[in-house]
Each structure stands twice: as structure tokens, then as C-alpha cells.
């Protein structure tokens, strides 16, 4: 989708649809005032009679208004003025974007961002409006040709503003590109998106962008490095594991890189500890951590940020097989620590621990892993926040602030020593499950043992990576949070 700026009063913009926001109890925004004046007070009279809905996310499509060059006006309700905040604004923009898609408009002009509310910056509102409209117009078409009557994504959206805001739209396009990549990878079926596919995807990213190099580690190489935890998971699958290492060198050579590590389990059957069949198909999303770090990598490369970034994707499939790893096996990780496998379905941590150990060779300033790691994360936080666990307060605060800024929020949970003993076993340095209580935290405790000397954060995105129980698919999260964090770090470096 193309974004552009139009510096004209809304009444003069020729487009299929003008989009404005209104609140209950607030003043009309500048663009709403302009349309109101041009149309002889239509907006205010329809608001008065209740024919324009102001409830959050409610939309009203108006036709045939006098005095406008545009064919229609879409009025998006943003709820009560005094309750308006970043996440409610985001939801309203998204609702507007969804109508634009469902009505099959090809062009629109958006002025949602001139709706003011407390503590919000107009530049931020423009960026969020652009991102939300883009997000709502995502349509999956890889294995299904869109039918004639199906919603058609917008081709172009213009926004009211002048050249001084050009950089914001460039940034939004950078965000949108990575985010769409993350979402598509998540939505692809597991027979297409397997470890080799992710490797291919990384190779095309490396070819497409400047300052990017790919290092692809095959199983033999991983075996030489002693990655028996990762390889143990992969043993039951006929799809060979790949360790994908993408490097982006946008900063000075002596600047320590940020490392993003993604769980890329392209399908998680549970292995011999087989999952119940009921929800097993959802485990095609078990590579959404990988998808989000690849997406953030693409955004970083597209925006050519002045930092050094490494993206490591541990791509494997977890399947039952005569050669599969078993409950009771003890495996030695690359770090030398031994792990007793008590449940082959706790495979994410097995794969990640070796990828985390591998990350140390880059002398990183921070390592952030992203994984659909535990069902317990969903119990704890539901679908609105990603779980965040870190051994470094500053890193945790930076990530939370980035999530707040882009409305892709994370919530910090504790990494206290007390939880560590749940991983004790007489047969190895640790076992791979920590029992019923605090499942998200004991998984993080497990990972922390491989990051003792690093500034490290772990994001459990089992609840936020896709929309459960409906057909909406992958969310791309927390690609936005990560990209925002990388932008913030670029400004600080
Ligand atoms: N990929 C799953 C986590 C998951 C489950 C994400 C459901 C989203 C929805 C992970 O590999 C897993 O199976 N975790 C187990 C761990 C347990 C065996 C300790 C879980 O959470 O049940
Ligand atoms: Mn599992
Ligand atoms: Zn898994």
C-alpha cells in the first residue's frame, strides 16, 4: 500500500472516501469542522440526532454530502473524549481501516490523526493511523485466490499533512513492511513454511537489502558445535533443522550488536508427548517468534537504521517418529549443561537454549528472544500483552516503553531465584519442565541459565502472536515493539 500526504482541506480532496474521527463530548477535529462547514453542518446535525455513532470503533458511512469533492465520508467513533488514549485511538483507526477494506475502496484520504487527545503528539497519531489502516488491509492470498466479492485491500492511502511529515510516513512504511512479512510467515501453512522455507526467506532478505549478510548453519555444523538440545527436537522430523543467522551492519564496526533470537518451530505436534488433536493445527503458529524477529530485521534493513543487528532463527519441526527424542532422554546442550527431557512438548526452550548460547559469540549489547513458549503465558496475560522476562532492568524498561509507544504492549513478569528450583532433577543439570505453577516463569528460568553473562530479555508471545479462536490469523506481534526498540536504540547510539 502506498502512503502519501495531501496538504489540502478535506473538502477539496478527490477520493473514494474521506476518513475522520469523532468523539462523544469532544470538539470536532479540524477536518471534521471543514467537512461540517462545507456540507452545511451535516456532521454536527447527524451527531446531534445520534445518526453518527461515537462509540469506540463504531463507524458511519455518509454518502452524497454537499460541498465535497470526495464521494463519501467515513466517520469513525473514538468513544468518550476523556477516555481516549493510545490504545483506544489505535482500535478506532483499525475499525476505520477494516471498513475501507470491506467496502473494497481502492483509495482513501485519512484525517483520523487530527483528532486530538491528552498527551498525544500529532506526529505519533499520523504514524499510528497509517499503520492501523495498513494493518486492517492485510489479506492472505497465498493458498486462496481472492473471490470477486471478497474484500479488496486498499492500494493507496493519503493522509492530511505537509512535507514536514514525510519522514513519519517513510518510517510507517518501514514498520508496515516488516510487520506484513511477520504476519504472512505466521499465516502460511506448515507444509509450506518449514525450516527450509524460513532459510530461503532469509536468503531473499539478504539479497534484497544493503548491509545484510546471511550465515546458514546446517545440521552437521550444529552437531559440530554441540547443539544437541536443538538437534534432539529436530530428530523426529524429516525436515532438516536450520539455524539462520542474518547480520545487518548499519552501525560502526566496533559497535556491539543487538541480537534477536526467534523460536522457529514450524510445526509443534508435541513430539512423542503428542498434543491433543483438537487445537494442534494452531501449532503452525509456533514459528511466530521467528516471524516477528525476521519482520523487525526487514524493517531495520529497509529503514537502514544506524545500528548493528543480528537475527538468529532456530528453525525446526517437532514431530513424533521412531528416531524422535523421548521423555527421559538426557541431552547435552552447546553450553555443556545437561537437560533431562521430561516432556517433548517443552521443545521451544530446548531449541532456544542452543541458539542463545550461539548468540554469545557476537559479544552482544543485548539479546532478546521471542517465542510462543508456553500455554501458561496465555493463562497469565491473555491475548493483549506479550510476557516479558529479563535479567536487566534497563533493557526491560526500554522494551516496555517501545511497546507502549507503538501499541504492541508487553508486561513484565518476575525472574526470581525462588522459581529456579522447580527445574531441579537428580539426573541432569535441569529438567525441561517446571510443573504446574508459573509455567511461563519456569520456562524463562530455564532460558536464563544460558544467558548468565548477558543482558537478556525473553518475550513469551503465545497469547499475542495470533488471534485465537477466529479466522483472523497471525498478528505479526511483537514485530512493532521490536522495530520501535531498534529505532529508539538507533537514536541513543
Ligand atoms: N508451542 C507451545 C506453547 C503454546 C501452547 C503456545 C499453546 C500457544 C498455545 C510449547 O511448545 C508447548 O507445548 N509448551 C508446553 C510446555 C509444557 C509441556 C511445560 C505448554 O505450554 O503446555
Ligand atoms: Mn510444544
Ligand atoms: Zn512449541
Q: What is the pLDDT of residues 248-260, one digit of tens each?
A: 999 999 999 999 9
Determine how β-strand 258-268 pairs with β-strand 366-371.
Answer: parallel
**Atom number of ligand 1 nearest to Cα 265:** 1
Q: Average of pLDDT values for 416-438? A: 98
Helix 86-102 × helix 122-136 angle, to 10°: 40
**All residues at 6 or more sequence positions from 244 whose CB lies less than 8 Å from its CB, including other chains:** 198, 199, 202, 214, 216, 217, 264, 311, 312, 313, 315
Active site residue 72: no
Q: In the predicted model, is pLDDT for residue 151 greater than 80?
A: no
All three cell numbers of 328: 527421559
Active site residue 349: yes
Instruction: Give exposure, 11-41, as e/b (b: 16+ Cβ within 10 Å).
Output: bebebbbbbbbbbbebebbbbbbbbbbbbee
Q: Average of pLDDT values for 426-440? A: 98
Q: How high is the mean pLDDT of the chain?
A: 97
Ligand 3 mean position, distance from CA 270 (Å): 7
Query: For the structural domain made of 2-160, what CATH number should be given?
Result: 3.40.220.10
Q: In the predicted model, is pLDDT for residue 149 greater than 90?
A: no
Give 154's pLDDT tier (boundaries 50, 70, 90). Answer: confident
Q: Average of pLDDT values for 167-177? A: 97
Give 343's pLDDT tier (boundaries 50, 70, 90). Answer: very high
Q: Average of pLDDT values for 338-357? A: 99
**CATH architecture, range 175-492:** 3-Layer(aba) Sandwich (3.40)
Q: Average of pLDDT values for 84-109? A: 95
Which residue, 349, 204, 335, 294, is CA-closest to 476?
294
Q: Average of pLDDT values for 274-294? A: 97
Which residues are near ligand 1 (CB < 6 Å)? 268, 286, 343, 345-348, 372-376, 433, 439, 462
pLDDT at 374: 98
pLDDT at 38: 98
Ligand 1 mean position, distance from CA 356 (Å): 19
Q: Whose CA is nearest to atom 18 of ligand 1?
A: 346
Which residue, 265, 257, 298, 280, is CA-closest to 198?
265
All three cell numbers of 44: 454536527
Q: Average of pLDDT values for 36-45? A: 97
Give 316's pLDDT tier (boundaries 50, 70, 90). Answer: very high
Ligand 2 mean position, distance from CA 315 (Å): 14
Q: Average of pLDDT values for 200-218? A: 98
**Atom number of ligand 1 nearest to Cα 347:** 11
Choice among 91, 107, 123, 275 that is catalytic? 275
Give 470's pLDDT tier (boundaries 50, 70, 90). Answer: low
Q: Average of pLDDT values for 45-71? A: 97
Q: In the predicted model, is pLDDT for residue 23 greater than 80?
A: yes
Report yes or no: 443 and 388 within 8 Å, Cβ to Cβ: no
Q: In the predicted model, is pLDDT for residue 182 greater than 90?
A: yes
Residue ranges in 213-305 assigned as alpha helix (H): 219-225, 228-234, 288-303
Q: What is the pLDDT of residues 361-388, one digit of tens each?
A: 999 999 999 999 999 999 999 999 999 9
Which residue, 188, 90, 78, is CA-closest to 134?
90
Other C-beta atoms within 10 Å of 394: how many? 10
* Three-state secondary structure call for residue 6: strand
pTM over 0.85: yes
Domain spans in the chain, listed from the N-terminal domain onward: 2-160, 175-492
Q: In the predicted model, is pLDDT for residue 407 greater than 80?
A: yes
Choice among 302, 349, 449, 477 that is catalytic? 349
Amino acid at each position: 500500500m502506498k502512503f502519501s500526504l495531501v496538504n489540502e482541506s478535506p473538502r477539496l480532496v478527490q477520493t473514494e472516501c474521506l476518513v475522520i474521527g469523532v468523539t462523544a463530548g469532544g470538539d470536532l477535529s479540524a477536518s471534521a469542522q471543514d467537512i461540517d462547514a462545507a456540507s452545511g453542518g451535516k456532521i454536527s446535525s447527524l451527531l446531534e440526532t445520534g445518526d453518527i455513532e461515537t462509540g469506540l470503533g463504531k463507524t458511519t458511512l455518509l454518502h452524497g454530502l454537499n460541498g465535497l469533492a470526495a464521494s463519501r465520508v467515513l466517520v469513525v467513533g473514538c468513544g468518550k473524549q476523556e477516555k481516549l488514549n493510545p490504545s483506544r485511538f489505535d482500535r478506532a483507526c483499525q475499525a476505520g481501516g477494516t471498513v475501507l477494506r470491506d467496502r473494497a475502496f481502492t483509495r482513501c484520504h485519512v484525517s483520523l490523526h487530527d483528532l486530538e487527545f491528552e498527551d498525544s503528539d500529532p506526529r505519533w497519531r499520523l504514524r499510528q493511523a497509517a499503520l492501523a489502516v495498513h494493518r486492517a488491509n492485510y489479506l492472505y492470498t497465498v493458498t486462496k485466490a481472492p473471490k470477486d466479492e471478497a474484500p479488496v485491500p486498499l492500494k493507496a492511502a493519503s493522509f492530511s499533512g505537509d512535507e514536514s511529515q514525510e519522514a513519519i510516513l517513510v518510517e510507517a512504511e518501514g514498520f508496515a513492511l516488516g510487520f506484513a512479512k511477520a504476519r504472512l510467515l505466521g499465516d502460511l501453512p506448515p507444509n509450506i513454511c518449514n525450516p527450509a522455507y524460513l532459510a530461503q526467506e532469509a536468503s531473499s532478505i539478504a539479497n534484497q537489502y544493503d548491509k545484510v549478510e546471511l550465515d546458514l548453519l546446517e545440521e552437521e555444523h550444529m552437531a559440530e558445535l554441540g547443539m544437541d538440545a536443538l538437534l534432539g527436537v529436530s530428530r523426529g522430523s524429516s525436515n532438516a533443522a536450520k539455524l539462520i543467522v542474518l547480520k545487518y551492519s548499519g552501525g560502526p564496526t566496533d559497535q556491539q550488536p543487538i541480537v534477536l533470537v526467534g523460536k522457529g518451530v514450524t510445526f509443534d505436534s508435541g513430539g512423542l508427548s503428542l498434543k491433543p488433536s483438537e487445537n494442534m493445527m494452531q501449532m503452525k503458529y509456533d514459528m511466530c517468534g521467528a516471524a516477528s524477529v525476521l519482520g523487525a530485521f526487514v524493517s531495520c534493513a529497509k529503514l537502514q537504521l544506524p545500528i548493528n543487528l543480528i537475527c538468529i532463527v532456530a528453525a525446526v519441526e517437532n514431530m513424533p517418529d521412531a528416531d524422535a527424542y523421548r521423555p527421559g532422554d538426557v541431552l547435552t546442550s552447546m553450553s555443556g549443561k545437561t537437560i533431562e527431557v521430561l516432556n517433548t512438548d517443552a521443545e521451544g526452550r530446548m531449541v532456544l537454549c542452543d541458539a542463545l548460547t550461539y548468540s554469545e559469540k557476537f559479544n552482544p549489547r543485548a539479546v532478546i528472544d521471542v517465542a510462543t513458549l508456553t500455554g501458561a503465558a496465555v493463562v497469565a496475560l491473555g491475548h493483549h500483552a506479550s510476557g516479558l522476562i529479563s535479567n536487566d532492568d534497563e533493557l526491560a524498561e526500554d522494551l516496555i516503553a517501545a511497546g507502549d509507544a507503538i501499541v504492541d504492549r508487553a508486561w513484565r513478569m518476575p525472574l526470581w531465584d525462588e522459581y529456579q528450583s522447580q527445574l531441579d532433577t537428580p539426573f541432569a543439570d535441569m529438567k525441561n519442565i517446571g510443573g504446574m505453577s508459573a509455567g511461563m516463569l519456569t520456562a524463562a528460568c530455564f532460558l536464563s541459565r544460558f544467558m548468565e553473562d548477558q543482558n537478556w530479555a525473553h518475550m513469551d508471545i503465545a497469547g499475542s502472536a495470533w488471534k485465537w479462536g477466529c479466522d483472523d490469523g497471525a498478528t505479526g506481534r511483537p514485530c512493532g515493539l521490536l522495530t520501535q526498540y531498534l529505532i529508539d536504540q538507533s537514536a541513543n547510539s
